[in-house]
Chains A and B, each alone.
Chain A
Amino acid sequence: MIRAAALFSYYDLTLLLEGFLTTFALSLIGCLGGFVLGFAAAILRTTRSRVMAPVRAALFVYAMFLRRVPFLVTLMLVFYATQSLHANLPTFAVASISICLIAAAYLGEITRGGLESVHANQWQGARALNFSHWQTLRYVIVPQAWRVILPPTFGFLVMIIKDTALASQIGVMELTAAGKVLGNKGVPAVLVYGAILMLYFSMSYPLARLGKHVERRLAAARNH
């Protein structure tokens, strides 16, 4: 134990802390960006006009593709694409873009499922009351869809936190990369990766618990 304490010097601890904060920032950007983009995509897919048909088709293909490609491949694709376009983006930006892209696909699908879970009668009723498409969404559909959308969303947000570990592959100095640096410095791998696992756990477990809590509360509200 004394050896372990000596190995985690001041420098090592700041490295871990910086990695932790980078992972946190990446996850936050992915969650927020993905949620906004995914929500917008799901809303666009509720449109019925013929003019929007190509947009709907494009969003459908987008969601289907991105959810069937491993995150690592998406990450590398964005990385090499920005490089060959000579856009000198920092690796953090590349990782953020990839995470937002993939989160938009998953969260868009979750949101779409939620919106579709609201019975068609609700659309018809709103129409009979002379609600516009947007008013129907705003006042009728979305408020009812929330309880279906939220529980799986929390599950996916935990997924995003875990996926950010792959950003270490393109050189983002996040938690996993910090672990690799410490490992190369000669700190025992069991110690380093054990600590890293615990740090990831401390980030995703509260979120998972919150998700369970929200799920229980929403389920209770539905059974009334």
Chain B
Amino acid sequence: MTLQFGPILEQWPYLLGGAALSLWIAVLAFACAMPIGLLCAALLHYGPPAMRRLVAAYVIFATNTPQLVQIFFLFFGLPEVGITLSPFTAVLIGATFNAGAYLCEIQRAGFASVRRTEIEAAEVLGFSRLQIIRHVTLPHVMKAMFPPLSNQFIVVTLGTSMASIFGVEELTGRSDNLGAETYLSVEAYGVAAVIYVAMTLIATCVLALSGRLVCRAKMNIV
């Protein structure tokens, strides 16, 4: 077997366009999942018992079933009740649904990591409620939450490769196309793999740097 990367590498703008779409889906899903996660974490903490149980059930269900089957359910199941989703929307909703549950867990743990004594100490020092949130709770929570959040962003980015199964032409879909056109599937997927590694490494570096600057979170890049 001889590998010929030439014909695949010639198509680099096509593949990088796919990578951009992958990243775009990940950013959209993550941005939608963040408020969902925050809301769920708040409900788990302060909501009425029935609401708490509902949110807990959502988190347990979403984290214990495959994202692929969840998207299958949305994509093929919902048309039966009259809601037809485009592949892109189905994948986006599926990724958001899944990420929302994980982000809820992360944010819940982040808020739980603030010690009661820290807040009491701030109260003793005469901090107002807002000042406590601004100077004690928030910095602590951000610092604790940032590393797992950026980790989860990488997980979401890798998860977007499932979109190719539904015909969305992101990085995996495009390398699949190239493989089918040129009969060089190994090379096409190999190049896609390298692009994924590069893409997520850059994302990790950017996140680690901003985490260090904004939240003073210590993060390892590799």
C-alpha spacing A71/B162, complex, angstroms: 9
Q: How far is the CB of A141 from chain B (nearest CB, A)?
A: 21
Q: Chain B residues near A134 (CB, 8 Å)?
A: none
Most chain A beta carbons < 10 A, residue from B61, B76, B80, B164: B76
Least distance between A152 CB and chain B CB atoms (Å): 12
B64-72, B107-115, B132-140 - interface stretch: B64-72
Name the prevailing secondary structure of the A interface residues.
Answer: helix
Interface membership of A49, Cβ < 8 A? no
A197 and B193 form a contact (CB under 8 A): no
Q: Within the assembled complex, what's the spacing in Å between the Cα atoms of A161 and B165? A: 19
Q: Does B196 contact A (CB under 8 A)?
A: yes
Question: Interface size (A, Cβ < 8 Å)?
Answer: 41
Query: What's the minimum C-beta distance from B180 to chain A, rounded to whole angstroms?
Result: 11
B-side interface residues, number (CB < 8 Å): 41
B190 within 8 A of A: yes
Known contacts A80-B186, A205-B60, A70 near B158 by CB under 8 Å: yes
Task: Write out the residue numbers on chain A whose beta carbons fall within 8 Å of the beta carbon of B179.
Answer: 80
The 5 lowest CB-CB distance pairs between A and B, nearest first, are: A70-B161, A165-B66, A189-B76, A193-B73, A162-B66
Interface positions of A (Cβ within 8 A of B)? 60, 64-65, 68-74, 76-77, 80-81, 84-85, 158, 161-166, 168-169, 176, 179-180, 183, 188-190, 193-194, 196-197, 200-201, 204-205, 208
7 additional A-B pairs beyond A70-B158, A70-B160, A183-B76, beta carbons within 8 Å, are A69-B158, A73-B193, A161-B66, A169-B165, A189-B76, A197-B65, A197-B73
